[in-house]
Amino acid sequence: MPLRALIWDVDGTVAETERDGHRVAFNQAFQAFGLPWRWDVAHYGELLRVAGGYERLLFDMQARADAPGPLAERSRLARALHQCKNRLYADLVAGGAIRARPGVHRLMHECLALGLAQAVATTTSRANVEALFTRLFGGQWRKGFGAVVCAEDAPEKKPHPQAYLLALGQLGITAADALALEDSPNGLMAASVAGVPTLVTPSEYFGGASFDGCAGLCDDLEGPLNWRGASAPRVDVSSLRRLHAAGMSA
Ligand code: XBP
Ligand code: MG
């Protein structure tokens, strides 16, 4: 089964967006709303177990005595904070606060040059992808992707497989034709449940996590890659094609 597409996760995989991007913007939103809440680096790491910024806010409010009591009021506040956070995040990104992780530019360019399709399957909001990819890859970035599935398309957040299933459908390929790039246990679970073999490049918040069931593992895309007992010196299209084919026939 030849490799026909790479499906990229965004947060943590394309760039370390969480600690210096989303977390900072959440704190700025709390401040803008006159709330005393602040998420420090360690607490945000715990909150990342909850996928989706809106869902993360609702989860955190459960432990806050000064959060609104009625659920409808809590949801309204979480929605407003989340929208504000996303605007502030876009400003941070546009200002250059976030850089791509090592090897991301190179691998995306290789895919374009060698005709390997690419897609995005993410739990983050579309505006965040738009802001980040425009800053990192330029205004024409969308042309390089056969599908871009975001939170608005896949309301069932990872570890639910919905984003991957939609991306496969839009690409018109089966799970075994694709390879997912992920950084987190929730992301690995989402891709795996969809049946997509997954290369994990753990982000800073998930360096100590367990990634049982992944097909491949690497510190970053420039580093050595271990793939079901085989290896490659770095992640490139030719090594991914070779390892994917070997994995599929094993
Ligand atoms: C990303 C997320 C998102 C981002 C923030 O997970 O869980 O919630 O943290 O973006 P993944 P939003 O990398 O697995 O897709 O605030 O737009 O949700
Ligand atoms: Mg991620």
Number of the ligand closest to the Cα of 122: 1
pLDDT at 249: 52
Q: Is the per-residue pLDDT at 250 higher than 50? A: no
pLDDT at 114: 97
Taking residue 76's Cβ as centre, other Cβ atoms within 10 Å add up to 12
- Order of strands across the sheet that contains 147-149: 147-149, 117-121, 5-8, 178-182, 198-200, 216-217, 225-227, 230-232
Number of the ligand closest to the Cα of 200: 2
- The answer to whether 212 is a known catalytic residue is no
pLDDT at 84: 98
Number of the ligand closest to the Cα of 191: 1
User: pLDDT by residue (tens digit) across 87-128?
Assistant: 999 999 999 999 999 999 999 999 999 999 999 999 999 999
Atom of ligand 1 nearest to the CA of 184: 14
- The answer to whether 219 is a known catalytic residue is no
Q: Is the per-residue pLDDT at 12 higher than 60? A: yes
User: pLDDT by residue (tens digit) across 42-96?
Assistant: 999 999 999 999 999 999 999 999 999 999 999 999 999 999 999 999 999 999 9
What mean pLDDT do residues 129-138 have? 98
**Residue 203 and residue 13 in contact, taking contact as beta carbons nearer than 8 Å:** yes
Cβ-in-10-Å burial (0-12, 13-18, 19+) of 26 comes to: buried
What mean pLDDT do residues 125-144 have? 97
Alpha-carbon distance of 51 to 75, in angstroms, equals 16
What mean pLDDT do residues 180-203 have? 98
Which residue type occupies 43?
H
CA of 182 to the centre of ligand 2 (A): 6
**Residue 190 and residue 159 in contact, taking contact as beta carbons nearer than 8 Å:** yes
List 11, 60, 177, 183, catalytic entry: 11
CA of 181 to the centre of ligand 2 (A): 9
Taking residue 92's Cβ as centre, other Cβ atoms within 10 Å add up to 19
Enter the pTM of the model: 0.96
Residue whose CB lies within 8 A of the most ligand 1 atoms, among 11, 59, 148, for a mutation test: 11
Q: Which pLDDT band holds residue 24 (cuts at 50, 70, 90)?
A: very high
Q: Which pLDDT band holds residue 1 (cuts at 50, 70, 90)?
A: confident
Those residues whose C-beta lies under 8 Å from the C-beta of residue 202, and which sit 6 or more positions away, are: 183, 184, 209, 211, 217, 219
pLDDT at 26: 98
Of all protein residues, whose CA lies closest to atom 10 belonging to ligand 1?
124
User: Which residues lie with the beta carbon below 6 Å from any ligand 1 atom?
Assistant: 9-12, 18, 22, 51-53, 82, 86, 122-125, 128, 151, 158, 184, 186-187
Q: Note the helical H segments in 95-149.
A: 104-114, 126-137
CA of 229 to the centre of ligand 1 (A): 31
CA of 191 to the centre of ligand 2 (A): 11
What mean pLDDT do residues 137-150 have? 97
